[in-house]
Amino acid sequence: MKKFHLRTFMLAFGVLFLAACTDDSNVDSDTEGGADSGEGGTGDVRIAMQEDVVSLDPHGSNDSASAQVRMNIYESLVSIDANMEQVPGLAEEWEAVEEDVWNFKLREGTTFHSGEEFTGEDVKATFERVNDEAVASEVAFLFEMIEEVEVVGDYEVNLHTEYPFAPLPSHLAHNTGGIISKELIDRDYQAALDEAGVDMTADEYYDLRAEGGAEYDEVKDQISEHIGTVIGPEADGTNHAELTSRTPGEETVLTKFEDFQAGERNFEELTFVVIPETGARLAELETGGVDVARNVDASSADRVANGENTELLEQESLRLDYLGFNVEKEPFNDPKVRQAISYAIDRDAIVEGVYEGMGLAATHPIPPDVWGYDDSLEGQVFDLDRAKELLSETDVADGFSTTLWVRDDQMIVDTAIYIQESLAELNINVEIEQYEWGTFLERTAQGDQDMFMLGWTTVTADPDYGLYALFHSNSFGETGNRSFYANEELDALLDQGRTESDEDARAEAYSRAQEILIEEAPAAYTVHSNFAIGVNTSEVQGVELDAIGDVRLENVTFE
């Protein structure tokens, strides 16, 4: 078994990621596929995915399946390599020339898949789109501090931020910061304007957006539901693979971009195949139907590690799995109820019993390797007596009935069953309800749930991403705060943390924020789980796994 350890200073992307389901139905061991060796050591790679892509539009979603595919299509200004180090992307160098101005020198001689030349205008168009209220992007929080993109020249831009923001390069490296061609963005806006019946060109809309005011508000409301008509079904990036075809629910096919300027690639075609069941994914891996299987859970790790032609890659992560409470619903609007439930959960037992040691018990709202983690705080711990004492001080002292929502993922279901049994000790009757992934995300964003289980990976190893999206009142719903938790003091601390340039002051703000989140318990933090994938090494080598669980294919070679 190969095991890659996460260094405390490394950076990581953030995504919603959940481990794999172990339903062995629909296994078809006769499927043909796998690496197709060719002359010169080239070939095709098939990657089995637990879930399907939500959107190929970088501004359309923040899920791990979409990120896995999009990272091969789009490049960002700043890139992250397989060792989770910041390296040049579409920007060859960058620096903060003022507290609120960053200068980026862009790579020359780069073309999009469409053949369009990459310039600073594409950077401007991309970030103006993600921050456009008409787009209403759930990832705008990553880039909303960008107030203006100043095009200095074809290959130089200045990003003006609303306030000093030290983690900006790390945010730009997120997969949703992939640069889209202005030509495609223009077509997307024009299609939205046409479908909404607005007699206006895309350029006229951009001018109106810059001016703001009532007319812009009216037009952006009219076109909002039509944004993404072109981007998503089409994709136009500069990275090493371009979109060939997509069959929703089944597969997405990319082919090698022959004019890629940032290195040689050995693959010819990348196919991302949707196989929800763990047993089916592993059967395909073992028989060569696929070359890589994502989302290998703890119960399947030994099978992959000990397979004749398979290898397990395991990666420590900056991920947090948590039990969330909808604080807008009774009795979860009472902090003592939430605290009682948190105290009733034995996290070490979950790590050993469910994750079979592939993880770390979570006591804080951010993982230990995230900058600003305060180990002087006790954190959330297991204390059943304290749990009973706290519940006795509430209006539901005799217990109550509730529901716990999960997606169709066996590791999460097993954790939910453990929590169900634990809360029975408090006379809390928990009914577990299981949903398909898309439905789960949609309904929890609407606030239909009582309790729910999700995961979040802290991008950039900076607490701004780990805490702002999950717990700031500006992030209600699909952005990340599915607990609908609002606390004025916490909001002020998180605002200070992202605007403060002094590192000590930032650390102090995040320490107090963690203290509030531990005490108020809008979520019970359960596990920092490891990521794992399986590779069929009889055909391909050089597959890598990074700290967010993404499969890296830039160094793939073939027998």
Q: Using the 8-state DSSP alphabet, how is residue 89 labeled? A: S
pLDDT at 80: 85
Angstrom distances, CA of residue 390 to CA of 256, 404, 420, 430: 59, 21, 18, 18
C-alpha neighbours within 13 Å on the C-beta side of residue 226: 17
Same domain assignment for residues 368 and 453: yes
The Cα 285–Cα 276 span in angstroms is 14
Residue 217, pLDDT > 90, answer yes
Residue pair 404/416 in contact by the 8 Å Cβ criterion: yes
Where does the pLDDT of residue 23 fall: very low under 50, low under 70, confident under 90, or very high at 90 and above? very low
Amino acid at site 143:
F
Same-domain pairing of 324 and 248 = no
Range with lowest mean pLDDT among 9-18, 180-189, 489-498, 532-541: 9-18
pLDDT of 452-478, one tens digit each?
999 998 877 789 989 999 999 999 998
Cβ neighbours of 42 (radius 10 Å): 18
Each residue of 507-549: pLDDT tens digit? 999 999 999 999 999 999 999 999 999 999 998 999 999 888 8
* pLDDT number for residue 73: 98
Q: Which residues pair with 157 in a beta bridge?
A: 104, 151
Helix (H, G, I), strand (E, B) or coil at 337: helix
Instruction: Judge if 523 and 548 occupy the same domain.
Output: no
Which pair of tokens denotes residue 438? Answer: 């898309």
Q: Which range marks the domain in which residue 454 is found?
A: 319-529
Q: What six digits make up the tokens of 260?
A: 């890629």
pLDDT score of 5 more than 70: no
Looking at the fold, whether 401 and 464 belong to one and the same domain comes out as yes
pLDDT category at 21 given cuts 50, 70, 90 is very low
Q: What is the DSSP string of 115-178?
A: SPBP-HHHHHHHHHHHT-TTT--TTGGGTTTEEEEEEEETTEEEEEESS--TTHHHHHTSGGGP
Does 103 fall in a domain?
no
Indicate if 435 and 308 belong to the same structural domain: no
The answer to whether the beta carbons of residues 537 and 201 sit under 8 Å apart is no
Residue 39 within a domain: yes
Structure tokens belonging to residue 80: 């992250």
8-state DSSP, 190: H
Residues 374 and 511 in one domain: yes
Q: Indicate whether 420 and 438 sit together in one domain.
A: yes
Cβ within 8 Å of residue 278, ≥6 positions away: 20, 21, 22, 23, 24, 50, 295, 296, 297, 300, 410
Q: What is the pLDDT of residue 41?
A: 77
The predicted structure's pLDDT at residue 317: 87
pLDDT at 403: 98
The pLDDT value given to residue 445: 95
Q: Is the residue at 172 inside a domain?
A: no
Q: How far apart are CA 374 and CA 367, in angstroms?
A: 10
Q: Is 528 helix (H, G, I), strand (E, B) or coil?
A: strand
The pLDDT value given to residue 245: 97
Give the H or E element holding residue 489: helix 488-499
pLDDT tier for residue 347 given thresholds of 50, 70 and 90? very high
The bridge status of strand 310-315 relative to strand 428-435 is unpaired
CB contact at 8 A, 395 and 331: yes
368 and 346 inside one domain: yes
Separation between Cα atoms, residue 461 and residue 86, nearest integer Å? 12
**Section 383-400 average pLDDT:** 97
pLDDT for residue 57 is more than 50:
yes
| CA 41 to each of CA 36, 37, 47, 449: distance values in angstroms, whole numbers, following the listed order | 10, 7, 19, 51
Assigned token pair, 55: 């959107």
> Which of these ranges, 145-159, 170-184, 243-257, 459-473, has the smallest mean pLDDT?
459-473
pLDDT in tens, 413-448: 999 999 999 999 999 999 999 998 889 999 999 999
Residue 134 inside a domain? The answer is no
Residues 416 and 451 in one domain: yes
Give the CATH number of the domain where residue 347 resides.
3.10.105.10
User: How many residues are given for the chain?
Assistant: 559
Min mean pLDDT across 186-195, 344-353, 384-393, 460-469 is at 460-469
- 323 part of a folded domain: yes
* C-alpha pair distances (Å), 207 with each of 157, 181, 316, 349: 20, 19, 47, 58
Average pLDDT over residues 383-412: 95
Q: Is position 284 within any domain?
A: yes
Residue 484 and residue 423 in one domain = yes
Helix (H, G, I), strand (E, B) or coil at 5: coil
Tens digits of residue pLDDT in 114-163: 999 999 999 999 999 999 999 999 899 899 999 999 999 999 999 999 99
Domain with residue 309: its CATH number is 3.40.190.10
Q: DSSP 3-state assignment of 351?
A: helix
Nearest to 363 by CA among 376, 378, 351: 378
pLDDT in tens, 263-308: 999 999 999 999 999 999 999 999 999 999 999 988 899 999 999 9
> Into how many domains does the chain fold?
2
- Give me 282's structure tokens: 């592993």
Q: How many CB atoms lie within 10 A of CB 192?
A: 25
Asked if the model's pLDDT at residue 40 lies above 50, the reply is no
Percent of the chain beyond pLDDT 90? 82
Short-list 141, 158, 162, CA closest to 149: 158
Neighbours of 331 (CB within 10 A): 18
Is the model's pLDDT at 188 over the cut of 80? Answer: yes
Residue 208: inside a domain: no
| Contact call for residues 8 and 369 (beta carbons, < 8 A) | yes
Q: What does the longest C-alpha to C-alpha distance in the chain come to?
A: 73
206 pLDDT above the threshold of 70:
yes
pLDDT at 67: 94
Quick check: is 366 in a domain? yes
Regarding whether 354 and 327 lie in a shared domain, the answer is: yes
What is the structure's pLDDT at 27? 33
326 and 247, same domain (yes or no): no
What would the mean pLDDT of 165-181 be, rounded to a whole number? 92
Strands (E), 257-318: 267-274, 292-293, 310-315
